[in-house]
Amino acid sequence: MSIFSRLRSKLFKLSNHLMDQQERCKKCNIKCGLIKVSPDVLRSLEDGFQKLSGSNSTSLLKKYLTKQVFDELKQKKTSFGSTLLDCIQSGLVNHDSGVGIYAPDPEAYVVFASLFNSIIQDYHGGFGPEDKHPKLDWGDISNLEDLDPNGEHIISTRVRCGRSIEGYPFNPCLTEDNYMEIEEQMIKIFRTMEGELEGEYKDLTTMSKEEQNQLIDDHFLFKEGDRFLKAANACRFWPKGRGIYMNHNKTFLVWVNEEDHLRIISMQPGGDMASVYKRMIEGVYYLEQNIKFARSPRFGFLTFCPTNLGTTIRASVHIKIPKLSSDNNKLDSIAQRYHLQVRGTRGEHTESEDGIFDISNKRRLGLTEADAIREMQDGILEILRVEQSLP
């Protein structure tokens, strides 16, 4: 670890200690009403809560933000200054959210635990307030197989994970300098990548709109202007500090400062899950030799959105299942049974185009990396078995 990283890690530990002291002091100040949430924030919270409560939203935020939880949390702040509004503003504005909450900084998961814990337990299939995420375990790659050796249904396979860099809060609390610092640190590391991982970083401030749109259409680059992220205050200073690293074959990618500080992605045409997974692991292993990732004893790897905590792994296939996809109930029942998530062709919050679906594991927390991949592989094999059994 470079002297810079060691120094930053020491500073982070010192700031943690200071935050503890400050937190104790703040708790007593808040108790005696010295540091309050501003009247404007309280008004926005009350108004948003009333509108959400009266809506037909099916978000997990609406399901678990009861009046009791709301009143308990509305006056709280983290040591970064994040309020309940900072956590839930996206879900208050977008009633069609699936989840509706993000953590503006790592402390939010603790300060607003009575809301986050319920949503986390629901989304990740039972990870309770006393549970702890298991140690990292990539598993034995030799147990993985080509999910579609004859190439009849699977167009491509992708595995991604998210990483937050220790010492930095999440999007809504990042300063303009923070975005640039993270990008500069990553560019230095990208320049040292060799072999299959060797490639080039392209930042969004200099990338042409044509190239950007082509990379999005080809499913390599993240979409721009996500309304959920915008409403979560996660797109400030855009596109400064944002970009994508791609190896020469575009099979290994790293997104910088989109939703998380880093998204580390491996993908290729076909169904060869073992090769895709192995490449992502190699990429993660190389990066973690050069930069310290934020990991919590309880939640594993920390991310902006609670749906990505833990392993942060989303393993997906772009798959054509013309028979099964014409029977939504049957497809949904398999997805439920195997903890799968069905997305549209361009990813989250999009529709299927030309009968192509993005199907992936849903659970990321409370199981190992190996479990998450196995769960996805078992689910996809079942989907293919049923598809091939239909008349």
Catalytic residue set: 160, 259, 263, 305, 307, 314, 343, 348
Interatomic CA distance for residues 213 and 197, integer angstroms = 24
**What H or E segment, with its residue span, contains residue 55?**
none
**307: partner contacted, choices ligand DAR, ligand ADP, none (Cβ within 5-8 A by kind):** ligand DAR
**228: partner contacted, choices ligand ADP, ligand DAR, none (Cβ within 5-8 A by kind):** ligand DAR
Measured from the CB atom, the residue of 97 and 247 that comes closer to ligand DAR is: 97
Q: Which residues contact ligand DAR by CB under 6 A?
A: 97-100, 228, 259, 305, 307-308, 348
Bond prior to 239 in cis (omega within 30° of 0): yes
Q: How far is the CB of 70 from ligand DAR (least distance, A)?
A: 18
Interatomic CA distance for residues 19 and 368, integer angstroms = 31
What radius of gyration do the chain's Cα atoms show? 21
Measured from the CB atom, the residue of 44 and 268 that comes closer to ligand ADP is: 268
Q: How far is the CB of 312 from ligand ADP (least distance, A)?
A: 10
Q: How far is the CB of 125 from ligand DAR (least distance, A)?
A: 15
Q: Which residues contact ligand ADP by CB under 6 A?
A: 156-158, 160, 219, 263, 267, 314, 316-318, 343, 346-348, 358
193, 335, 321, 162: which is closest to 256 by C-alpha? 162
Q: How far is the CB of 118 from ligand ADP (least distance, A)?
A: 23
Measured from the CB atom, the residue of 217 and 288 that comes closer to ligand ADP is: 217
Measured from the CB atom, the residue of 82 and 312 that comes closer to ligand ADP is: 312
Residue whose Cβ sits closest to ligand ADP = 347
Measured from the CB atom, the residue of 158 and 362 that comes closer to ligand ADP is: 158
- Relative to beta strand 154-163, strand 262-269 is antiparallel
Q: How far is the CB of 96 from ligand ADP (least distance, A)?
A: 16
Provide the 3-class DSSP secondary structure of residue 28: helix
Angle, CA 147 vertex, CA 247 and CA 198 arms, to 5°: 10
Main-chain phi, psi angles of 345, to 5 degrees? -65, -30
Instruction: Confirm if 83 and 41 have CB atoms less than 8 A apart.
Output: yes
295, 297, 289, 253: which is closest to 165 by C-alpha? 295
